[in-house]
Structure 1
Amino acid sequence: MEITGTAQHDAWQQKALPPVERLRPDLWSIPVPIPHNPLRYVSVHAFALDGGGLGLLDAGWGSDESWAALTAGLAAIGAGVEEVRGVLVTHLHFDHLGLAARVRDASGAWIAMHPADAAAVARLTAAGAQAMVTAEVEFLVGLGAGRDEAVSDVGPPENLRAFTQMAVADRLLEDGEHADFPGWRMRAVHTPGHTPGHLCFAEERSRLFFSGDHVLPRISPNISTSPGGLPDPLRDYLDSLAAVRDLDPAEVLPAHEWRFRGLDARVDALTAHHEQRLAELLGAIRAHPGSTPWDLAAHLTWSRPWEQYERRMRIFAVTETDAHLRLLASRGLVVSSGGPVPAWTLALR
C-alpha cells in the first residue's frame, strides 16, 4: 500500500490537523475536526461543479468548532458555504452528517444518502433521545450487561440529543446510481457493514474512490450490532470489502487518516484482521464456554487494558464482539443458549 496523502500522514504523526489541499483542479480536501475523538478529523471533499457552485462529500461533526473549520476551509479555496448545491453523505454517523443541516440552512443545498441510513435517521429523529437511551440500555442488557452498568455507559438523554436532531435526507441514492454533481460521474457503491446504508463513491472520470469509513488506511472501522441494525453486520462488511477489492482505483480517498493507493492490498489486510479476530474469539469461547458477549469482550485483545474501557468505548467493544459472534454462528461454529441473554459455546462438529 502506497501513502499518497503525505501531508495528511505527516500531520497525523505530528498530532496536528492537516492542511486544506487542492487534489485536482476542481477538487479539494478540507479537514474538519472531531472534538475529543482519537480520529481527530473527517476529510470533507469539495467539488467544483460545471455551471458554478460546489458539491460536498460529507459535512463534518455538528459543532461550532467544526463549522468554523469547514467555513474557513471553504474560504481558503475561494468559496463560501452559500455556494454549496448538494451534500453527499457516506453514512449517518455524526462526524459525517452532523453539519449537513447547517450547510443546507445556509445554502439551500440538497442532502443525499442511501435509503437505509436515511430511514434510520428519520427513526431517530421521530423517537427522540429518551427512546434512543432506553433502546440502547435494553440492547446492552440483552448482551449480558448489568442494568446499572448499561445505564452508566449509555449516559443521560442529553448526551445523545444531538444525534436525534440530524438532517433527514432530501434525496436517496441506491447502489449504482450517479450523484447530481454536474461535471462528475460519482457512482454510489452501497457498502453495508459499518452502517446499513454506508456509501462509497467511485468517480468514473478520474478513477478516484471515496471510501468513507468502509476502507481506512490504518485502522479497521467499527463493525457493531445495534438496536434495529443489521442482523449480521460483519458478514455484510466482509461481503462489501470483497465487492470493492478489484475496482483498481487510481487513488483511495478515505474520510479519515490519509489518501493511499493499493485498495486490493488494504482490503486483504482488513479481511485477514477480522479472520484473526474471529479465531481469537473462538479461543475465548473455548476457554470460557457459556459466556455472554459482554463477558467475552473482556477476554479479547484491545488497544488498552480492558479495565480502562467504559462508557462509549466499552459499548463499541461489546457490540463489535457481538458482531463477530453472529458471524461465527452463521458459519456454524458457535451456538447460543437462546433466551433473553445469549450464552455462547462451541458448536459440536
Structure 2
Amino acid sequence: MREVPPVEDLGEGLWSIPVPVPHNPIGFTYVYSLSAPGGPVLIDTGWDHDDSWSALVDGLARAGHRVDQVQGAVITHFHADHSGLSGRLREASDAWIAMHPRDIAVLERQAGRDQEERATAMVTQMTRAGFPTEDIDAFRASPTVFRSPATPDLALQDGERVDVPGPDLRAVWTPGHTPGHLCLHLADRELLFTGDHVLPRITPHVGQFPLDAPEGDPLGDFLSSQSRIGRLPDAERLLCLPSHEERFTGLPERARAITDHHEERLARMAELLGPGPTTLWELTSGLEWRRPWEDMRILARHMAASETAAHLRTLEERGLVRRGGSMELPRWATTT
C-alpha cells in the first residue's frame, strides 16, 4: 500500500486532497478542489468508503471549505476510484456532478444490471477468451463486488467550459482509458488535470470490453488522444496534475513515451501470434507482465486479457491481424 501524501495548497484557491483507496495497491486518488464564486468545484471525488469520505471532508476543511459548500464536481472518468463518492457528495451538498456523455452512457448501462448479471457476463467473456476451467471457477468463487457510482446530472462535451463563474476550466476529451475520459485545461494558469490519461511513470490500463468485442478500438482512441494532448498550444509549459503519482511537466515527451510503449507492445504481440491461430488467453498468458502470470489474481488476469484484447483490436484495425475461430472461441493470427 502506498503512503497517502498530505493535503497540499497549490496556490490561488487550488488544493490537492489525496483520498485513500483502502485495501488496494493503488493507494489513493488525488481529488483537486478549485475555489470559485458560489463554492469550490472538485475534480473527481474518490473511492466510496468511510475512510475516503473522511479524508475528503477533512481535506476540504484544510482548504477552508465545508463539504456542503461544494457546488459541483467534474469527474474525469467513471472508474470507482474517481467517481465513487459522487452520490455521497451530492447528498451532502446538493452538488451537480458532470462527466463526458460517453462515460455517462456506461454508467447508465451498468445501473440496469445487477451483480449476478454482471458476474455472468464476465464468465461468458472469460469462456470465449479461452480461460481454463480453474480460472473461471476461481472467479466464480471470488467475492467480487461491482460498484456503480451515481449517475451524473450534467454532460460535459469536448471543449466545453465548466459552467461556473471565475476559472476558465475546459474539458479536453481523451478517450481510451475509458470511452469518455476527460482532461481539464486551466489555460490561464497553465495547468492540466490529466486524470489517468497521462501519468508520470506508469501507463494507464486500456482494455477492450467485452473481451471478444469485434467493434471499437479503445487503444487506437487512446493513442490518438495522446497525440492530441501533446499538441495543446501550451503543452510544453503546462504543469500536469494527474490523479496518481506526482505532478510533472514535459507533457509532449511523456505522451510520446506512452505511445512508444504501446507500439512496442503491439509489435511484440504480432511477433508472438505468428501464423496462429491463438486464443486470447494463450496470448495473454504468454506475455510479460509486471507480476509473473502464475502469481496474478484472477481479476488481474482478466484485466491483462482486456488489455491484450485492446491491442489485438488495434492490430486488426491496422490490417496486421485477422480474427477467426468461432463466436464461442475466437482465435487470432497475423495476416502475413
Sort the TM-score into its range (normalised by shorter chain).
Answer: over 0.9
Does the 8 A contact of 1:174 with 1:188 survive in 2?
yes
* Residues 304-345 of structure 1: CA deviation (Å, up to 9, x unaligned): 211111221111111101111111111111112142222111
Quote the offset at 1:148 in angstroms: 5.2
Aligned residues: 330
> Which of 241, 265, 273 lines up with 1:277 in the alignment?
265
Alignment TM-score, normalising by the size of structure 1: 0.90
Alignment match, 2:103: 117
Query: In angstroms, what is the RMSD of aligned CA positions?
Result: 1.8
Aligned letter for 1:102? R
1:231 and 2:216 correspond: yes
Aligned letter for 1:149? D
Quote the offset at 1:72 in angstroms: 1.1
1:91 and 2:74 correspond: no
1:299 and 2:286 correspond: yes
**Structure 2: distance between partners of 1:153 and 1:320:** 18
**Structure 1: distance between partners of 2:156 and 2:136:** 36
User: Aligned pair in 2 of structure 1 residues 168, 259: CA closer, same or farther (>3 Å)?
Assistant: same
SS of the equivalent of 1:336 reads strand
Quote the offset at 1:147 in angstroms: 5.2
1:150 and 2:150 correspond: no
SS of the equivalent of 1:278 reads helix
1:312 and 2:296 correspond: no
Quote the offset at 1:233 in angstroms: 0.7
1:251 and 2:251 correspond: no
Does the 8 A contact of 2:42 with 2:73 survive in 1?
yes
Percent of aligned pairs with the same amino acid: 43
Any stretches of 5+ residues in structure 2 without a counterpart? none
Greater RCO, 1 or 2 (C-alpha within 8 Å, sep 6+): 1
**Structure 2: distance between partners of 1:44 and 1:253:** 10
1:216 and 2:199 correspond: yes
**Structure 1: distance between partners of 2:95 and 2:141:** 34
Does the 8 A contact of 2:73 with 2:98 survive in 1?
yes
* Residues 255-308 of structure 1: CA deviation (Å, up to 9, x unaligned): 11110000001001000000111111122112x822111111111111121111
* Residues 47-69 of structure 1: CA deviation (Å, up to 9, x unaligned): 1112x411100000001111111
> Which of 156, 159, 162 lines up with 1:173 in the alignment?
156
**Farther-moved stretch of structure 1 (185-194 vs 225-234):** 225-234
SS of the equivalent of 2:30 reads strand
**Structure 2: distance between partners of 1:134 and 1:204:** 45
Any stretches of 5+ residues in structure 1 without a counterpart? 1-11
Aligned letter for 1:268? R
**Farther-moved stretch of structure 1 (143-152 vs 247-256):** 143-152
**Structure 2: distance between partners of 1:145 and 1:182:** 52
SS of the equivalent of 2:183 reads strand
